[in-house]
Structure 1
């Protein structure tokens, strides 16, 4: 068992978003991304089987998808998707998300 304080990872960068590996095991991976307003994780996908969950823990922005799709996202919102499905995130304010990937990539 491990106790992790995500607030200790509350770091933002002017050039590019901040990424913190929270947990990595053979079962799943957890990553904390911190975005300043206007920053984004571009829409992408992975050619493997698996699922991911993106949870907004602070701020507001959008979950991004294929063909310009954008879903409003704010604190407490979660996107669950297959890893093969195009996905991304764009911040409207300072925004922090936690991504869980299973199996890990």
Structure 2
């Protein structure tokens, strides 16, 4: 068992701040910090696997081909990694992204 503390990752004016939390042959966990107005645009990956985006702090929207869904602290989006996905921040927002298997 490994216990990781998400580091105090700063927010950046130039785009989302990204910090690797954990990586193994089975999964990858990344902390993204978005300032209000920043986004991870709608995208997908042409591989098999799943991802989970967990809103740790703040508010924004999950992005999909079908539109936008409000997202706030405690909300989790889970989908195949090949499904178009993204996130945008309405306020400063911290997001934990888990990808399995890792890319």
Q: TM-score, normalised by structure 1?
A: 0.94
Alignment correspondent of 2:2: 2
Alignment correspondent of 2:68: 70
> Which of the two has greater helix per residue?
1
Shift of 1:103: 0.4
Alignment correspondent of 1:22: 21
- Cα distance in 1 for partners of 2:8, 2:24 equals 19
Shift of 1:25: 0.5
Shift of 1:11: 0.9
SS of equivalent to 1:9: coil
Query: Any idea what the Cα deviations from partners look like across 1:16-48, whole Å, max 9, x if unmatched?
Result: 110001111000000000000000001000000
Alignment of 1:17-96 (within 5 A): 17-66=16-65, 69-96=67-94
Structure 1 unmatched runs, 5+: none
SS of equivalent to 1:80: strand
Structure 2 unmatched runs, 5+: none
Shift of 1:104: 0.4
Count of residue pairs the alignment pairs up:
103
Q: Is the 8 A contact 1:9 1:20 kept in 2?
A: no
- Cα distance in 1 for partners of 2:11, 2:3 equals 22
Shift of 1:2: 2.7
Q: TM-score, normalised by structure 2?
A: 0.96
**Cα RMSD, aligned residues only:** 1.0
